[in-house]
Amino acid sequence: MRKGILLFVVSFVLFASLQAQSTKNVIKFNFVNLIFGEATFPYERVLTPNSSIVISPSYGESSQSGSGYSDNIKKTRMGIGFEYRAYLKNPEPAPSGVYFAPGINYTYRKDNTTSTLGTTVNQKASIFNIKVVFGKQWVYKNHFVLDLNGGLQHTSDHVSDNTINGDDTQASGFFPALAFSVGYTF
């Protein structure tokens, strides 16, 4: 799975670089998602001097061993996000400057928990986010990118598991949407 995602990202970047005549492409790494054990590599494509689109694939995998009820927990997450950026009256054209960006994101999460008694609980979740952020992106020396943004997102998730009663739960709410990304434009 990791090799497939890596191959996708490398292929996408190579294809985009063949298409690029100027700095219309940006590939970044979002450090905020590391808090949740997820690697996110946003790709931004400039459409006009005042707009761009962003595609953000993400993947995360973690495991822990413990004592007590849960001996082994393995968590896997993968997702995709889309964002439209409208750059606001900047002296420099996109991808540099202040922007407003609505966006959506879908994440699939799978957790496997094995107890000390040998029973396994498989839990799956579908998480959907709608967000609105304001941000600023700086381009240094025509290639190095720093992107900061913040706003509000509405998250809705549906969780199901394979326990005896097979409980499905749903939850939703508003949360902060934050990003701190570093990247390269080409």
**pLDDT (tens digit, 9 = 90+) per residue, 69-125?**
556 788 899 999 999 999 998 788 999 999 999 999 999 999 887 776 777 778 899
pLDDT, average across residues 136-161: 94
| Burial of 169: CB neighbours in 10 Å, binned 0-12, 13-18, 19+ | exposed
Which residue from 104, 58, 108 is spatially nearest to 82, judged by alpha carbons? 104
Residue 143 or residue 122, greater confidence: 143
Lowest mean pLDDT among 7-11, 128-132, 157-161, 181-185: 7-11
> Is 17 in a helix, a strand, or coil?
helix
pLDDT, average across residues 145-163: 91
Q: What are the structural domain ranges in the chain?
A: 2-185
Look up the CATH number of domain 2-185. Answer: 2.40.160
Residue 16 or residue 167, greater confidence: 167
Answer whether 68's CB lies under 8 Å from 113's CB: no
Instruction: Give the separation between CA 80 and CA 101, rounded to whole angstroms.
Output: 16
> pLDDT for 37-49, tens place per residue?
899 999 999 999 9
